[in-house]
Structure 1
Amino acid sequence: MSKPYTGGRKGGTGADDVLPWVIVAVAAFCFLAFFGAWFGGTLGAAVSGAGWNPPPFSLRSMVDLVQQGPSALWPDAPVGAVVAGIVVLFLLAILLIVLLITAVRRRVAKPKALAGKRELAVLLPKEAAAKARSLRPSLPKTGKLDPDDTGNLLGNLEPNGPELRSSYEDVELHLMAPRSGKSTGIAVPRTLRARGPVILTSNKADVYTVTKAERERVGTVWTFDPQGIAHTPRTMWWDMLAEASTIEGAMRLAGHFVGAVNDDASKKDFWISAAQNTLTALLHAANRGGRQVTELLGWLADPADRTPIDLLNDAQMPALAAQLQGTIQGAVETRDGIFETARQCVSCLLDPRISAWVTPDPKVAQFSPQRHALSRDTLYLLSKDGGGSAAGVIAALADSVMRAGAVAAERQGGRLDPPMTAVLDEAANVCRISDLPDLYSHFGSRGINVVTLLQSYRQGSRVWGEAGMDALWSAATIKLLGAGLDDADFVEKVSKLVGEHDVSTVSISRSKDGRTRSTSYRQERVMPVDRIRALPKGTALLLATGIRPALIRLRPWFKEPGAERIQAAAQAESQAMTARAAQIVMEKP
């Protein structure tokens, strides 16, 4: 009976295979250590003034160095200088090794099969500049362009790649958890770098505080702050009812108020739909009759008031007047339910602090969406979440400005130049534009760069419904997925979108005839679910239309040139805001 095979050699063990490599490694280490001491000591002796007199590079020299010390090899040089030279050389060698290991680890940590420079050429500076010239006739046809004139900064390609920029016809969707770099890496830089008019929505004052002073250097800053987020005094008013000059405009305006209280725009029950129709008629009647918000609220409080019906008839709108009259003359329970739902939709206007911002006031300037679209001004739209939120008014004003931009673009030949930047931070909370997914591609073709910032995919689905959020996802030409995405189903879908790649596995088998090495391949996710969920803060997965996914590093504003000046201005604005808040508290009875 034959004996079982126990190794590559008869009677051998695993240690027999490893021992030769151990001997080679020890010999190599001794050689490198002696070479470092020999070269460092010679260099130290030369620097001390003893001249360049290297001792023989031999085994005898190594033994003398170990047994007798540096003076045996460099008798004319101070021992301290020789030792210093050796130590400095070894420290430099250690530093070099650490840098090499760090570089290798970063390269190994980068997921394979993601897009590199070649695939991302359209987002690199050279092609970005060429595309910007084709989209913006005002740019010079030759010469170097300012980077911010060529496109919107997204970040740097990981691990050490160049900066990437989206074009001015791109529309973007960014999904990031709170405190993952959403404000510092996207909202603030995009606002600071914008070349044309800016709209920024938020439920906090952080981006406003950082960017206000810089935007004042470019143009006028308009702050729409009906709930005192930044404690700014009211210096503007907006004619909200001017948007209801047509039935379509009145319906859109009513839709913004309905959307602010309806969690899913795709699901409207009878009461929501009827309330929107009633609000449409009342808003249009107020516009055609030259009435104000307070009178509109009075009509809602008293369904029997025939004033809006008479105003619609006087404006030659008999069909709309008949529809409103039918609602009023219907069953009392149904009428009261419709009007109560409508009252809930516009309940924020009951607060005089909010309604004052949409009521004519000769003491402050009137904001014009049409003028803003052709300027380099900045409009900050601030509102709180939850009950009493002015989200309906915020969404209406943001929508009005963007649609004014689209009209201005058509008059300019099809595209705004310079482009408009709309940063819709906390869009699901304070800027619920119900048909935003449908408007995305239209805005992109008009030079209106819309950036929608959400905390998760599910948050968007709650506002626009599954179909609406899918449409928004599909319409966005640039998608950034940052740290902290915890929706398992969504992250699984993203992992599938990133795709798979071939992974080789080497196996070695041994037999009495020797060793056999074979390579097999298997499909493996480029970025598994757990890796997407654990993306480090400040990084993001970039999904651009027609390009393989890439991993990028965001560039926070406080690490960019000029950050010291911006930081100082932000601190001054923060102190002023604190003082305003204290003054308001003191003035309260």
Structure 2
Amino acid sequence: MRTFGAVVVAGVLIFLGAALAGWDVKFAVVWPWFVVAGAAVLVFRLVELARGNSARLVMAAAGLVGVAVWFAVTAPAETPGYGLWMWGLVGVPVLVIAAGVGMRRHGGSRGLIGRWSRRSRRNEGVASRWQIFWVASRFAMRRKAKVLSPSLRTVSALRRWRTPVREYATRIARVGGQGVWSPVEDVTLRMGGPRTGKTGELACRILDAPGAVIATSTRTDLIDLTAGVRRGEGPVYVFNPSGLGGLESTISFDPLAGCENPVMATYRAGDLVPSAEDAEREHWGSLARQALAALLHAAALGGLDMAKVQAWVADPEAAADEVLRLLRRSSEPTFATAAQQFLTTNERTRSSITTTIMPALGWLTDPTARAAAAGGGFDVEALLAESGTVYMLGAEEGHTAPLVTALTAHIAREARRIAAQRPGGRLDPALTLALDEAALICQIPLHLWTADMGGRNITIHIGAQSRAQLIARWGATGAASIMTNSATVLILGGSRDESDLNAYSLLTSDRDERVENEDADGKVTGRSPRKVPVLSPGQISQLPPKTAVIVRRGMPASVGKLQMAWKRRDVKAAARAERRALAVERWIRRRDEFAIRVGAFVDGLADRIEPWLTQVEEWFTAGAEARREARRAARTEVRVPVQDRTEPVHAEVVRLDTVRTDTVRGEADEQGEGEQR
């Protein structure tokens, strides 16, 4: 078919050239080139049909020589390019044929696979610097800035270039001198044994989060490492229904919040009773979710609490009248039907349903968990606006896992609803879910979330100990979905499971290795290639701490170093600030204690000196009073002269004038002296 098409095209071009040769117009002088083009198409097709490189070379040379001779003999001198006919007829066709052969060799699937093979041999099966730069570098993240951050679509290119990359991506590792980045729309999964650096690396994802953060863990390590820095970004909350580490919950969440809405009641029942891989368990789980949704809806309509729901589940027959009476207020009649079916079914079926529901309400027996669930709902929109951080702690026993799951699912669901109303259907800045030990404390449907949340800028960073742990929680199908949906997988050392190590080794692909063949005397007789894994299971198992195999979508595997949170500058600065604050607090406390002691000493000393001071004061007071009495007496004393009794007494008026005391005293003295004389 291709040959027929080439013959038709060649015939049409040659016919046009022959037709133009008889025209007496200016454009007709180019008619030889139409003939040359038709002949070239025909020669090129004949070269393709020839077998063997020698036959193709001979065919091409014969065709070029024939066309060149025809052009030199037949073409008029007025033909454009006539002076360069040799280069045009020889050089251009040679370049065209070479380009065609090159495209045939390097284009299509054959060429692509060939390039992959050559690149793999050149780089020993791992990612090259160019591949890291093109796929996972800071520059690669900037190329997608307008998609990852809708707010950057309306700004200038310069402003967009100046925006920090951390606003829409995070650096997960370092390979040589290059950073491997992950955008906010991608899911990352890290797997490694205990004390291999998994939590330290995950803490960096919390520190680099551009917006709000939800972090789950079975220990307080994440809070100790990141809370000081995250307080500078927004408010920090703790949800600790198990009382782990003695930390009190600063927020509360009632599973009944919002269950007045039938749709929310259905969601909440699904959060408390997760789906199961086993068909029989899933059958009873479906019935349990249906019954629990009706009971939650009834309790919310009646303004009751979760303890009442637990009592209804424990004794369905006694609760039948009350539940049905409350469900008559519902706008959805199917809930009353579902409740009646649960309450009136046979004893054996009802017992199986209640047995499935009761573990989801086991946290009600824990006073700490019950207190954390008494306080209404949680405002997710305010959390996103304030770029807050919520730390969710759960014990490995798992009795509080349904409560933690309910809050986590509520936040993710509300965030997804809010994202649908934002430009581009994405949150900006993104919400980060850092799920450390997710398989132990959180029963969220990760196999579904990892496929949907990334496109809404809800970034999920998962931490697990092994692939077997994922299978135990979400089943083989769910674990495979999580692995597939994770754009970046970090494999740390410490694993000893053979199946896990073989699966990890397969993810790294393989490479060509030259094997020397020796004869009986030990002489090398030749070398032959063989396929070997880029990293064997043993090598992956023995990876040093803080080192991970990075399997990134779009590029071969690589081995990089992970950054630990406790080595970051911002964490160290926050720790120093906290130490300074504690030192100042201790100094203030000691200062207050010293002031109290000095005050007590002064008070005691005053109690001892006070009697002496009182005596001295009384002595001085008495002395002063005596002097005042003396002066008062001196002021009122008046002396009258003695009369001679022989002289007649004449009536006289004695006038007493007020005189100064000292004057009276002086006159009296003078009078006395005169009498003595």
> TM (normalized to structure 1)?
0.71
Alignment of structure 1 residues 105-254 onto 2, 5 Å: 112-120=124-132, 121-139=134-152, 141-142=157-158, 143-157=161-175, 160-185=176-201, 187-254=202-269
Deviation for aligned residue 1:570: 7.1
Q: Quick one: structure 1 residues 527 and 266, their matched pair in 2 at CA, closer, same or farther if it must change by over 3 Å? A: farther
Aligned equivalents of 1:282, 1:197: Cα separation in 2: 33
Aligned equivalents of 2:540, 2:491: Cα separation in 1: 9
Q: Which amino acid aligns with 2:304?
A: R
Greater shift, 193-202 or 561-570, is seen at 561-570
Greater shift, 281-290 or 216-225, is seen at 281-290
2:390 to 379, 387, 390: 379
- Are residue 420 (structure 1) and residue 436 (structure 2) matched? no
Work out whether residues 510 and 516 of structure 1, in 8 Å CA contact, stay in contact via their aligned partners in 2: no
Q: Which amino acid aligns with 1:380?
A: Y
Alignment of structure 1 residues 4-15 onto 2, 5 Å: none
Deviation for aligned residue 1:243: 4.6
Q: Secondary structure at the match of 1:122?
A: helix
Instruction: Determine the structure 1 residue equivalent to 2:622.
Output: none
Larger-Rg structure: 2
Alignment of structure 1 residues 290-439 onto 2, 5 Å: 290-304=303-317, 305=319, 306-360=321-375, 367-386=378-397, 389-413=399-423, 414-433=425-444, 435-439=445-449
Aligned equivalents of 1:132, 1:281: Cα separation in 2: 45
Deviations 1:310-362 (A, max 9, x none): 2222213332212211221222233234224322321112323212222237x
- Are residue 519 (structure 1) and residue 527 (structure 2) matched? yes
Instruction: Determine the structure 2 residue equivalent to 1:486.
Output: 496
Q: Secondary structure at the match of 2:248?
A: coil
Deviation for aligned residue 1:287: 2.6
Q: Which amino acid aligns with 1:429?
A: L
Instruction: Determine the structure 2 residue equivalent to 1:102.
Output: none
Aligned equivalents of 2:349, 2:518: Cα separation in 1: 79
Q: Which amino acid aligns with 1:520?
A: S
2:290 to 256, 273, 277: 277
Percent identity for Structure 1 against Structure 2: 27
Deviation for aligned residue 1:206: 0.8
Greater shift, 198-207 or 401-410, is seen at 401-410
Aligned equivalents of 1:129, 1:547: Cα separation in 2: 18
Instruction: Determine the structure 1 residue equivalent to 2:572.
Output: 564
RCO greater where, 1 or 2, for CA within 8 Å and sep 6 or more?
Answer: 1
Work out whether residues 249 and 372 of structure 2, in 8 Å CA contact, stay in contact via their aligned partners in 1: yes
Work out whether residues 372 and 401 of structure 1, in 8 Å CA contact, stay in contact via their aligned partners in 2: no
Aligned equivalents of 2:516, 2:128: Cα separation in 1: 27
- Are residue 551 (structure 1) and residue 563 (structure 2) matched? no
Q: Secondary structure at the match of 1:367?
A: coil
Deviation for aligned residue 1:558: 2.3
> TM (normalized to structure 2)?
0.62
Aligned equivalents of 1:232, 1:296: Cα separation in 2: 28
Alignment of structure 1 residues 11-160 onto 2, 5 Å: 112-120=124-132, 121-139=134-152, 141-142=157-158, 143-157=161-175, 160=176
Deviation for aligned residue 1:227: 1.7
Aligned equivalents of 2:123, 2:568: Cα separation in 1: 27
Instruction: Determine the structure 2 residue equivalent to 1:289.
Output: 302
Work out whether residues 266 and 464 of structure 1, in 8 Å CA contact, stay in contact via their aligned partners in 2: no
- Unaligned stretches of 5+ residues in structure 2: 1-121, 584-677
Instruction: Determine the structure 2 residue equivalent to 1:68.
Output: none
Aligned equivalents of 1:429, 1:310: Cα separation in 2: 39
Q: Which amino acid aligns with 2:375?
A: P
Q: Secondary structure at the match of 2:234?
A: coil
Aligned equivalents of 1:379, 1:546: Cα separation in 2: 33
Work out whether residues 257 and 300 of structure 2, in 8 Å CA contact, stay in contact via their aligned partners in 1: yes
Aligned equivalents of 1:476, 1:465: Cα separation in 2: 17
Work out whether residues 503 and 524 of structure 1, in 8 Å CA contact, stay in contact via their aligned partners in 2: yes
Deviations 1:422-474 (A, max 9, x none): 001111111111x3211212110000110111111111111111111111111
Q: Secondary structure at the match of 2:543?
A: coil
- Unaligned stretches of 5+ residues in structure 1: 1-109, 576-589
Aligned equivalents of 2:487, 2:343: Cα separation in 1: 46
Work out whether residues 211 and 387 of structure 2, in 8 Å CA contact, stay in contact via their aligned partners in 1: yes
Greater shift, 552-561 or 241-250, is seen at 241-250
Q: Quick one: structure 1 residues 309 and 470, their matched pair in 2 at CA, closer, same or farther if it must change by over 3 Å? A: same
Q: Quick one: structure 1 residues 395 and 506, their matched pair in 2 at CA, closer, same or farther if it must change by over 3 Å? A: same
Work out whether residues 516 and 524 of structure 2, in 8 Å CA contact, stay in contact via their aligned partners in 1: no
1:452 to 432, 446, 462: 462
Q: Which amino acid aligns with 1:536?
A: P
Greater helix fraction, Structure 1 or Structure 2: 2
Q: Secondary structure at the match of 1:241?
A: coil
Work out whether residues 200 and 380 of structure 1, in 8 Å CA contact, stay in contact via their aligned partners in 2: yes
Q: Secondary structure at the match of 1:118?
A: helix
Aligned equivalents of 2:370, 2:556: Cα separation in 1: 48
Aligned equivalents of 2:580, 2:123: Cα separation in 1: 43
Deviation for aligned residue 1:571: 7.1
Deviation for aligned residue 1:213: 1.6
Residues paired across the two proteins, number: 452
Q: Secondary structure at the match of 1:253?
A: helix
Work out whether residues 132 and 168 of structure 1, in 8 Å CA contact, stay in contact via their aligned partners in 2: no
Work out whether residues 228 and 575 of structure 2, in 8 Å CA contact, stay in contact via their aligned partners in 1: no
Deviation for aligned residue 1:380: 0.7
Work out whether residues 495 and 532 of structure 1, in 8 Å CA contact, stay in contact via their aligned partners in 2: yes
Aligned equivalents of 2:280, 2:268: Cα separation in 1: 18
